[in-house]
C-alpha cells in the first residue's frame, strides 16, 4: 500500500508541476535552457533560467543577465550579461558579454536594441 501511495503522490506532483509551469510560461515569465558554456560559472550548460518578460528595456542596467535574439540575424537566442549601455539618436543600445568569454562578439553580443530583447534572467 505504501508504494501505491508514493506512485500516486509522485504522479500528482508531476501533473501539478506541468500545469503550474504551463500557466507560468506565458506572457510574464518564461524558462530558457542554457546551451553553451559562455556564462560559466554563473550558469552551466543545461541549467534552466527563469526569465522576467515584464521588465522594461529602459530599466536594464549594467550587470543584468538578459535573454535576447542574436542581433546579426535573429537566428539564435542568447543569454549574456550587460557590460555597456549607450544612448544614440535611435535609442538605447546594449552590449553584452558571456562571463566566460574574453570579449564581446560583434553581431552576437551587440548591438542589442529593444526589438532584440526578450527578458531579464531572474
pLDDT of residue 63: 98
- What residues form DSSP beta bridges with 120? 52, 66
Q: Has this prediction a pTM greater than 0.85?
A: no
In a domain, 57, yes or no: yes
In a domain, 6, yes or no: no
* CA atoms within 13 A of residue 63's CA, in its CB half-sphere: 1
In a domain, 48, yes or no: yes
H or E stretch including 3? Answer: helix 2-24
In a domain, 7, yes or no: no
pLDDT of residue 18: 66
CATH at residue 107: 2.10.109.10
In a domain, 59, yes or no: yes
Number of domains in the chain: 1
The range of the structural domain enclosing residue 51 comes to 27-121
Task: Classify 92 as helix, strand or coil.
Answer: strand
In a domain, 72, yes or no: yes
Predicted confidence (pLDDT) per residue in 29-68, tens digit:
788 899 999 999 999 999 999 899 989 999 999 999 999 9
Cβ neighbors of 95 (< 8 A, separation 6 or more) are: 82, 83, 84, 85, 86, 104, 109, 110, 111, 112
In a domain, 75, yes or no: yes
pLDDT of residue 121: 96
Amino acid at each position: 500500500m505504501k508504494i501505491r501511495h508514493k506512485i500516486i503522490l509522485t504522479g500528482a506532483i508531476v501533473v501539478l508541476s506541468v500545469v503550474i509551469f504551463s500557466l507560468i510560461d506565458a506572457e510574464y515569465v518564461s524558462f530558457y535552457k542554457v546551451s553553451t558554456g559562455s556564462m560559466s560559472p554563473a550558469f552551466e550548460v543545461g541549467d534552466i533560467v527563469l526569465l522576467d518578460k515584464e521588465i522594461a528595456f529602459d530599466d536594464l542596467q549594467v550587470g543584468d543577465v538578459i535573454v535576447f535574439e542574436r542581433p546579426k540575424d535573429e537566428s539564435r537566442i542568447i543569454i549574456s550579461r550587460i557590460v555597456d549601455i549607450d544612448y544614440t539618436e535611435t535609442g538605447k543600445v546594449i552590449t553584452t558579454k558571456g562571463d566566460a568569454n574574453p570579449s564581446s562578439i560583434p553581431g552576437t553580443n551587440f548591438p542589442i536594441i529593444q526589438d532584440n530583447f526578450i527578458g531579464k534572467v531572474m
